[in-house]
Amino acid sequence: MNKAVRLTRELIRIDSTNPGAGEQNVAEFIKDYLAIPGIVITEDEVSDKRNNLVAEIETEQFGTEVPRLVLICHMDTVVAGKGWNRDPFGAEQEEGRIYGRGACDMKSGLACALAVFKETAQAVEQGTIRLKRPIRLICTVDEEGDMNGVECAVRLHRVHKEDWAMDLEPTNGQIQMSHKGRFWMEISAHGVTAHASKPEQGADAIAAMAEYISYMRTAFTQFPAHLELGRTTITFGQIQGGYQPYVVPDECKLWVDCRLTPPTTDTKVIEITDRAIKYAEHAVPGVKFEYRVTGNRPYIEKNDESGLLRALKKAVSTVAGQEPLIRPFPGYTDTAVIAGMLKNRNCLSYGPGDLKYAHKPDEFVKIADIERCENVLRQLILQIQEET
């Protein structure tokens, strides 16, 4: 069994659900695994008992003009949930697959990074490799929550604008670089209660919210589609309102998820929201709206001139024997946060597994995927020492 496959099973057996057990036990495992000469580990406190780990390979000093290769992987998983036919933390291996919570998202990717990072550090210590580019591994907390871990890493300058940043999220054999933006809002409508037999004496907050929803759905169909990322979308994920079936509701709250693609910006969405609110308030007199933005992450476009993209394409072609597809990442990753916060144009994802099996019961990763990604990462690191 190769290193990354073995590590994947060991990591799955450690519950690091978020919310739930958290990442601390995985962090302790990683510190033990990387406790060898030539690796320096720093812990950055993100919140109470939740620390990022930053590992560096000790080597000669590099000038500031030499960007790092930054490998970034999150240690947490979503909750196990219901509907499993297997033990979510059993790391069962069967017919070329490993099952368990986090199998593809992203303990197998973390395992590949750990195995190759340690192997590289040992080669540097033994003098068989001389690094021409510094290499850093960042293991983050809270990726499956509010992504506070990667935001902390950026604030503490653990990654910079010119660095090559790569996460090992599941990409199904593709290199994935672009992302839709995420724009979240919480909308509140305040009306006036009345007896349901006399609705004209009240102001129906739910009816007003329905007008707002209808206006927004229509407006979003008018936004142009992006050639690679597709259409901007809006989802009304959760709604609360009223307190009795026979009373005109005076309160309604709505949570909105917008996924933005160029050229639609957050400013444009706010402009449309303001119009929708005016329309709804006019349609249902007496109702007043307020809203707040609860999340705003920009869209990330593919950079065909990226040095990391060019190097990774070559490494994948060498290992897999064919050119990789370049596609958007369906969700949002730690490297997308880095790209958005720092305007870093060398951020991408490439890792084992398929995202469509993540967060589901009986999540799994193919062993062949782990082996391929481990070899690609090994090839990438060797390659950039030759080309830098």
Q: What is the pLDDT of residues 297-316, one digit of tens each?
A: 999 999 999 999 999 999 99
Does residue 342 surpass a pLDDT of 60?
Answer: yes
Supply the pLDDT for residue 11: 98
My answer on whether omega of the bond before 285 falls inside 30° of 0, hence cis, is no
Supply the pLDDT for residue 385: 77
- What's the gap between Cα 236 and its chain centre? 21
* Separation of alpha carbons 353 and 309, rounded Å: 20
pLDDT in tens, 41-85: 999 999 988 999 999 998 776 666 678 999 999 999 999 999 999
Q: Write down the residue that tokens 């069994």 correspond to.
A: 1
357 or 129: whose pLDDT is higher?
Answer: 357
Does residue 388 surpass a pLDDT of 50?
Answer: no
Specify the fold of 181-297. Answer: Alpha-Beta Plaits (3.30.70)
Supply the pLDDT for residue 1: 56
Specify the fold of 3-179+299-387. Answer: Aminopeptidase (3.40.630)
pLDDT in tens, 19-48: 999 999 999 999 999 999 999 999 999 998
Distances, alpha carbon 87 to alpha carbons 66, 75, 90, 133, 362, in Å: 45, 19, 5, 41, 8
Percent of the chain with pLDDT over 90: 93
- Radius of gyration of the chain measured on its C-alpha atoms: 24
The rounded mean pLDDT for the chain is 95
pLDDT in tens, 312-326: 999 999 999 999 999
CB-based contact 350:373 (threshold 8 Å): yes
Q: Where in the chain is the domain with CATH 3.40.630.10?
A: 3-179+299-387
pLDDT in tens, 221-266: 999 999 999 999 999 999 999 989 999 999 999 999 999 999 999 9
Does residue 387 surpass a pLDDT of 60?
Answer: no
Q: Taking Cα atoms as reference points, which of 258, 189, 254 lies closest to residue 220?
A: 258
CB-based contact 133:68 (threshold 8 Å): yes
Structure-token pair, residue 212: 């707002």
Supply the pLDDT for residue 132: 85
Q: Where in the chain is the domain with CATH 3.30.70.360?
A: 181-297
Is the overall model pTM greater than 0.95, yes or no? no
